[in-house]
Copies of this chain bind each other. A is one copy, B any other.
């Protein structure tokens, strides 16, 4: 980056940081951010901290907080210049993480780190977050955009978020209700959600012979690789809300990095699970990636969700009722196994039935 021609003195802009560009990006997004504010938000955009009234949240309210990013899905967004869907993915991913402990989301804060700040790009990402917040009744309470030349190469960026939700203590899903024999019910994902992208990108770039992400995705009529791989992470809040206070719901696992095997045991309080992989409806995106990458089956189930985005552990006697409730809410679901006792001296694990 050249120093300014008129002077030998260094300025912040010479050093690669454009404070005005950050302020422009924020100004363009203020309307969308304010639209997420409910009656609990007390301060406007731009204060040092977002303010959220916490009176009357419940009798024994428990805050549930979770931080996450969207992984290298962001590199596909950057390569095709489409930044809104990753904002939605991030928010919906975090809502699911709080949801599995029984929580309704309250507020969200985002962070964008970039190598060189493009106000239009940043505004698109923030607005993607803000629209998703509005859809789910979440206040976009704060955020930060940081221009960090060198930490990020020009054209690269990271998008990080923290969500805080609330659950009444008696309805907290903490694994204590889980019992061997509980039925496992899976909810379909819509593609990769936000995990396994480093592997998926490598397969697309090396094995599909796709020059870029505008090329057609094999077997996906009329859809480019970008279309398929930027699909938004599904949010399970609306279809699962009617079950949150149902005593038959014992636990939920959000299937993210590590796949079914890495996530399901996290919520089973030491119990194990047996799972039929064949019960999960296959999706073209996984079939194509696994075939082209010659990815070993166990590795595929560790890197990808393979078609299941959320797993519920429910009292087996109430399984049919839970399935009926999900159907009433237009949520597809499938039985995929059961909770089993963990071997004495053994570790909690997922045993594949096929």
A contacts, CB < 8 Å to B: 7-12, 14-17, 19, 42-43, 46-55, 57, 59-69, 71-72, 74-75, 97-98, 100-101, 103, 107, 109-111, 113, 141-144, 146-153, 156-158, 160, 162, 164-166, 169, 172, 174, 196, 198-199, 201-203, 206-207, 253-254, 257-258, 262, 266-267, 293-296, 299, 302-303
User: Of B55, B103, B113, which contacts A158 at CB under 8 A?
Assistant: B113
**Given known contacts A15-B202, A65-B141, A75-B150, is B299 in contact with A42 (CB within 8 Å)?**
no
- Give which listed residue, B51, B67, B148, contacts A174 with CB less than 8 A: B51
Q: Which residues of B contact A144 (CB under 8 A)?
A: 67-69, 160
A275 to B146, CA, bound (A): 28
Is the pair A53, B60 in contact by a Cβ cutoff of 8 Å?
yes
Contact call B72/A149, Cβ cutoff below 8 A? yes
User: Smallest distance from the beta carbon of A203 to chain B beta carbons, Å?
Assistant: 6
CB < 8 Å neighbour of A295 from B9, B42, B142: B9
Partner of A51, one of B64, B75, B111, B148: B64
User: Least Cβ distance of A142 to chain B in Å?
Assistant: 6
Count the copies.
Answer: 2
Residues of chain B within 8 A (CB-CB) of A203 are 10
CB distance from A264 to the nearest CB of B (A): 12
In angstroms, Cα B165 to Cα A38, docked, is 19
For A200, give the chain B residue with the smallest CB separation.
Answer: B15
Given A48-B98, A69-B111, list of 16 further CB < 8 A pairs? A10-B202, A10-B206, A10-B293, A12-B303, A51-B63, A51-B172, A51-B174, A54-B57, A67-B144, A67-B162, A69-B113, A71-B148, A72-B149, A75-B150, A148-B158, A162-B162
Chain A interface, DSSP helix/strand/loop, else mixed: mixed
Q: Which residues of B contact A63 (CB under 8 A)?
A: 51-54, 107, 164
**Does B65 contact A109, Cβ atoms closer than 8 Å?**
yes
A53-B62, A54-B61 known; A67 and B142 CB under 8 Å? yes
Q: Which residue of B has the minimal Cβ distance to A203?
A: B10
CA distance A103 to B109 in the complex (A): 17
List of B residues within 8 angstroms of A109 by Cβ: 65-67, 162
Please state if A9 and B293 are interface contacts (CB–CB under 8 Å). Answer: yes
Asked, given contacts A66-B48, A151-B72, A174-B43, whether A54 binds B202 with beta carbons under 8 Å apart, the answer is no
Would you list 16 pairs from A and B whose C-beta atoms are within 8 A, ordered by A residue?
A9-B293, A11-B299, A15-B201, A42-B62, A42-B172, A48-B101, A49-B65, A54-B54, A63-B107, A65-B107, A65-B162, A67-B111, A75-B151, A111-B162, A144-B160, A150-B156
B113 touches A160 (CB 8 A): yes
Contact between B254 and A48, CB atoms less than 8 A apart? yes
Interchain CB contact under 8 A, B46 and A266: yes
Query: CB-nearest residue of chain B relative to A143?
Result: B67
